Structure formats: C-alpha cells, structure tokens
Amino acid sequence: MTPETQVPETRKKVHVKTFGCQMNVADTERMIALMGERGMQSTENPKDADLIIINGCSVREKAVHKAVSFLGEQQILKKQKGEKGPIIALGGCVGQLDKGEVFKRAPYLDFVFGPDAIDQLPELVHKAESGNRHFVQVEFDKTLSYSTQTKVQGSKAQAFVNIMKGCDKYCTYCIVPFTRGREKSRTIREVLDDIADLVSKGVREVTLLGQNVNSFGKGNPNVHGYEPKELHSPIGKVGPRAGEENFPQLLYAIENDPRLEKLKRIRFTSSHPLDFSDELIACYAPKEKGGVSRLARHLHLPVQSGSNRMLTKMGRHHQIETYIAQMRRLKELCPDVGLSTDLIVGFPTESEEEYLETKRLLDEVRYDNIYAFMYSPRPGTRAAKLPDDVPNEVKNRRLNELLAHQLKIAASTYAERVGQTLEVLVEGVAKNQNLIKEGATGRVWTGRTSCNRVVNFIDDSNRNLLGRFLQVKITGSTSLSLSGEWVHDPLYAEQNPTDVAYTSSYSSSEVVQ
Ligand code: SAM
Ligand code: SF4
Ligand code: F3S
C-alpha cells in the first residue's frame, strides 16, 4: 500500500450494492477486500457509508433500472452531508457500458468504472478523494493472459474463484460479451495455488466461476501434460484445442493435489451446452469409474429454449436433442445429480407452440430449479435488431405458466429426498424461523447439499454451526427447499475442528443467475 492510496481516517466505511450474477457477487467481495486492505469496513447501511459503490448488471433492462434507481436514491445523502457526503461510484457491467453518459442525469456521481478496473479501485477512490470528479475507467485489460489471486473477507467455508473472464459465444440476445470482453483463462497452476491458499485459510467449498467454464484453458499451452488432452461432444471436438489446457484437466488437478485434501466440494458455473464435453460428463462418474469424487452433484446448464428454431435464432449453436442426450448420459452416470437451467420466454417471433416445447422440456429433464426470464432487448446485440414482437402480456403469461409448472415438478423431485440423510454445508441462520414450533427453543439453520438443494434444520444448542458439514435426515419438503433433523454424529468434533471460526459477511445483493 502506498501512502497515496491510504484512505484517510475520516473515510472508514464502504457500502457496495450488488446486482446481477455470481460474477458480480465475487467482484463485490474483491472490492470490499481491496478497500479493507486500505482500512475500510463494509457496512450494510448506505447512510453510514463514506464510499458507496453500485455494482450494476445490464443483462436485462429491469436490472439496469434497478441500479440506476438505487443510484438516484443516494443523491439525498450528498445533499444532506455536502462536502462530507459519501463518494459515489457506479461499477459492474452497467458502469462498463455507460462510459460516463450517466453524469448528465446524476451529476452527484463521482466516478464510473468497469469490471476490469476493480484492482484499481483504491487509486480511483483516492483520485476522487483528491477532488477529481466525473472520471471514467472502463478500458478492457489488453493483456492476453489472465492472472489474479482470490481475495476473501474474514474466514469463510465457501469461496468464489474466478478461473476465466469474458465470453466469446455472442449469443444474439446477450450483452455480456460487450461488458466483460474476450475470454481469457488463468493457468491451472495458478488456480491450484490460489485454492491451496484458500484451503489453508479454512475454505472447504469452491465455486469455479466463468461465463462458460467449459472453454476454460483456451490459448494456454498444456505444458504440464494434464489429461484429458482433447474434449469431445455430440457435435465433435469442442472447447480448447488439443495441446491447450481445459476444464476437466483442472477438475482432475484439484482432485489430485495433496494440498487440497481438506477441500470437500467443487462447484462451477456456468457452462454452455455446445462445450459441455463428454469428458466433463465423465467427471460426474463415481470415483472408481474415473470420476472426480469431490465434484458437487449439481449442474447448472443453461438451455434458454426447448425449440430448435429459437436456439438457432439465439445463436446457441446446438440442438435440443443433443442437450437432452447430454442430460440423459449425465443422469446415468450420476443418478442423484441436481439440475438447474436458464430459460428465456418471448424471444422475437417465438410462437405458442415453440414456447410449449420449452414447457415440455421441463417434463423431460425434471430440473430442481429454473431461472426463467422474459426476453429483454439489449442495445448493440444482434437480437435487438429483430422486432420485439411478442407482446408483454404474452411474455408475462408464458413466464408465470412456466414457473408454476416448474414448481409442480420440483415439489415431486424434492419429495423424493424425504427419508434420505444428506450432507449439508451450513451457510447461516435461516431468515425464516417458522420451523420452530411455538414455545420451543433453538434456531433454524440453513445450508446446501452437494446437489445444491437448500436444507433447513433446527439446532437447540447454542453452537455456531456456520461453515460446518453436517448429516441431516430429511423429514419434509416443499418445491423450493427441504427440512430435516441434524443427525448428531459422535465424530462431529473431529470432522469439524473448531480451529476456524467462520464469519458471515453481509451481502447487499439482488442476485440472478
Ligand atoms: N454465461 C451464462 C450462460 O450462457 O448460461 C450466463 C449468461 S447471463 C449472465 C444469465 C442468463 O440471463 C442467461 O442464461 C439468459 O437466460 C438470461 N439473459 C441473457 N440475456 C438476456 C436478455 N437479453 N433477455 C432476457 N434474458 C437474458
Ligand atoms: Fe451470454 Fe452466456 Fe451466451 Fe456468453 S454464453 S453470450 S454469457 S448467454
Ligand atoms: Fe449481469 Fe454482468 Fe453478470 S450483465 S448477469 S452482472 S456478467
């Protein structure tokens, strides 16, 4: 830390409001950690903050509106506090696209920055502190490689690890390639060292992040001879080329690294069906059949539509039949896998029959969870040139129908778990304490299974269970979560040593997939 970037004593608290996907959540964590290194603490209340950052999402128009309206609400703080008011910055994908136009509407905003400028945040804050205003830092990092180190705040059992950035897919509706730039991957070696450092600090579950992690490794020579050398899918060779690093290699390298023995779960998001290789599916097999034993039994594989004509218009470059075949193969290898997906309804020219093909896909795949959205034209994308011809009320009706249909399916898939004992990583005290009967004592805790189902359970001791892996016998279900009883395991103390006191961090976020 240079003296110039030391935040003055008077500037002590930072509030980051996060909109968008896990990538933005991870970016927020990085911003808070970077400012923490300069002596700032995060606060949940913007009114207490000396620095307010809006980490915005541009994936749909509504998301942009939310960020801009939150920005508008902060104006009053500047007015009330005058010179002593907070520094206000607009970042994330909204910052990247805005490039400073917003100053006309929000002159009280101090600066704008994009996702590639996050590591410069302390300098940007210092610049604003020094009286500079209305500046913009949205240049993409031009280097061909991507190197970073994950920063987490406090002690956590879970961490997001960016393994790549950008997206080269250019689906016709999507703004992300314009906000996050071209794909670049970290090397396997660097990711392993990074995770080893996190594990030494108490992390037991990592989520490997990228817009399309299955193209991880593109352009990075496979100098260490990792296996498998090449990736294949029903459409042929996919992903990075032979001789380059790839995603299944990374999973096997994590599994086999002796420094990572204490890591219990590996998750990843997101993946594209085109690159969802046979070799990645094979990672879900049981260990004795060559699988990656610590890979979570969950897959989020966005499909967007059940109609081949829509998939072509969306520029997805795969057929629905190959997607269904991939799901079947996966379920054969890993019958208890939990599946989730993203869907768009009302894409230009989508007919009622094409929408019904999407609805029927839910019956075919039987997801645990779906993230469904009404199509929202994004300026600058290819689809934005098509007429947005599905009326809003039709989009709305299709969305609600799809969500209601999914709830019925999930009610039965969740009920199938009743009676099983599942391992749960405890994520915190549940917001809803309704499981506690009147007059009873204890607290409801919430966590997730390997297959990504939410499990709530009661504990009447006063122990802090945050970050612990516990066995929970499932006794009840809804279409969104499971409930159960913690099976008090005599080995609990040894399996969950209390040498790490996990902390929960506040998160002021509105997260979408
Ligand atoms: N890279 C991931 C993928 O391809 O699945 C995630 C992309 S995006 C961050 C998350 C989801 O937002 C997409 O999967 C898609 O369903 C939805 N989405 C993206 N652009 C959209 C748009 N213009 N209108 C509505 N939904 C959109
Ligand atoms: Fe957007 Fe995902 Fe398509 Fe990339 S792969 S363009 S992030 S929807
Ligand atoms: Fe939104 Fe950017 Fe993520 S547009 S969904 S925050 S990559």
Q: Which atom of ligand 3 is nearest to the CA of 175?
A: 4
Query: Is the pLDDT assigned to residue 497 strictly greater than 60?
Result: no
The per-residue pLDDT for 513 is 43
> What is the distance between the alpha carbons of residues 436 and 390, in angstroms, rounded to a whole number?
46
Phi/psi of residue 511, nearest 5 degrees: -95, 135
Ligand 1 within 6 A of CB of 58: no
Shared-domain flag, residues 310 and 395: yes
Ligand 3 atom, smallest distance to 55 CA: 6
Q: Are the beta carbons of 416 and 451 closer than 8 angstroms?
A: no
Q: Encoding tokens for residue 475?
A: 């006794």
Residues 240 and 197 in one domain: yes
Given 137, 168, 192, which residue is the final one in a domain? Answer: 137
Q: Are residues 124 and 107 in the same domain?
A: yes
pLDDT of residue 508: 47
Predicted pLDDT of residue 496: 54
Is residue 479 within 8 Å of residue 415, measured between CB atoms? no
Question: Environment class of residue 339 by beta-carbon count within 10 Å: exposed (0-12), middle (13-18) or buried (19+)?
Answer: buried
Rounded-to-integer distance, Cα 421 and Cα 114, Å: 45
Position 1 in a domain: no
Question: What separation in Å is there between the alpha carbon of 20 and the centre of ligand 3?
Answer: 5
Range in 59-68, 70-79, 493-502 the model is least confident about: 493-502
* Strands (DSSP E) found in 430-468: 443-449, 454-459
127 and 184 housed in the same domain: no
Q: Are residues 276 and 198 in the same domain?
A: yes
Task: Indicate whether 467 and 333 sit together in one domain.
Answer: no
Is residue 467 a contact partner of residue 202, using CB atoms and an 8 Å limit? Answer: yes
Q: Whose CA is nearest to atom 19 of ligand 1?
A: 174
Q: Which two tokens stand for residue 479?
A: 């279409």
184, 58: one domain:
no
Say how far apart CA 40 and CA 38 lie, in whole Å: 6
Q: Which residues lie below 8 Å from residue 319, measured CB to CB, with a gap of 6+? A: 308, 311
Distance CA 24, CA 43 (A): 18
Is 28's C-beta closer than 6 angstroms to any atom of ligand 3? Answer: no
- Measured in Å, residue 71 CA sits from the centre of ligand 3 at 18
**Does residue 322 fall inside a structural domain?**
yes
Output the CA 210–ligand 3 centroid distance in Å.
11
Cα three-residue angle 22-192-275, rounded to 5 degrees = 55
State the CATH number of the domain containing residue 86: 3.40.50.12160
Q: Is 120 in the same domain as 247?
A: no
Q: Tell me, in angstroms, the distance from the centre of ligand 2 to residue 176's CA.
A: 6
Boundary residue ending a domain (137, 169, 201): 137
What atom of ligand 2 comes closest to residue 174's alpha carbon?
1
For 109-154, write each residue's pLDDT tens digit. 999 999 999 999 999 999 999 999 999 999 998 888 999 999 988 7
What is the rounded CA–CA span in Å between residue 470 and residue 423?
6
Tell me: do 87 and 218 sit in the same domain.
Answer: no
Among candidate residues 137, 166, 183, the one where a domain is terminated? 137
- Residue 76 belongs to domain spanning: 13-137
**185-193: average pLDDT:** 98
CATH of the domain at 451: 2.40.50
**In this structure, are strands 184-185 and 164-165 parallel, antiparallel, or unpaired?**
antiparallel
Please check whether residue 384 lies inside any domain of the structure. Answer: yes
- Give the Å distance between the CA of 470 and the centre of ligand 1: 34
Q: Do both 356 and 218 map to the same domain?
A: yes
Residue whose Cα lies nearest atom 3 of ligand 3: it is: 21
* Residue 273, both tokens: 């069906």
pLDDT at 91 over 80: yes
CA-closest candidate to residue 339, choices 424, 413, 422, 247: 413
CATH of the domain at 376: 3.80.30.20
Domain identity same for 386 and 443: no
427 and 407, same domain (yes or no)? no
176 lines ligand 3 (CB under 6 A): yes
23 lines ligand 3 (CB under 6 A): yes
99: in domain: yes
| Residue 56 domain-assigned (yes or no) | yes
Tell me the whole-structure pTM to 2 decimals.
Answer: 0.93
Quick check: is 215 in a domain?
yes
Q: What average pLDDT does the structure give for the chain?
A: 92
Examine residue 282 and state whether it is found in any structural domain, yes or no.
Answer: yes
Q: Is pLDDT at 512 greater than 50 in this prediction? A: no
Q: State which of 95-109, 151-165, 381-395 shows the largest mean pLDDT.
A: 381-395
- State the pLDDT at residue 365: 97
Query: How many domains is the chain partitioned into structurally?
Result: 3
Residue 185 lies in a domain: yes
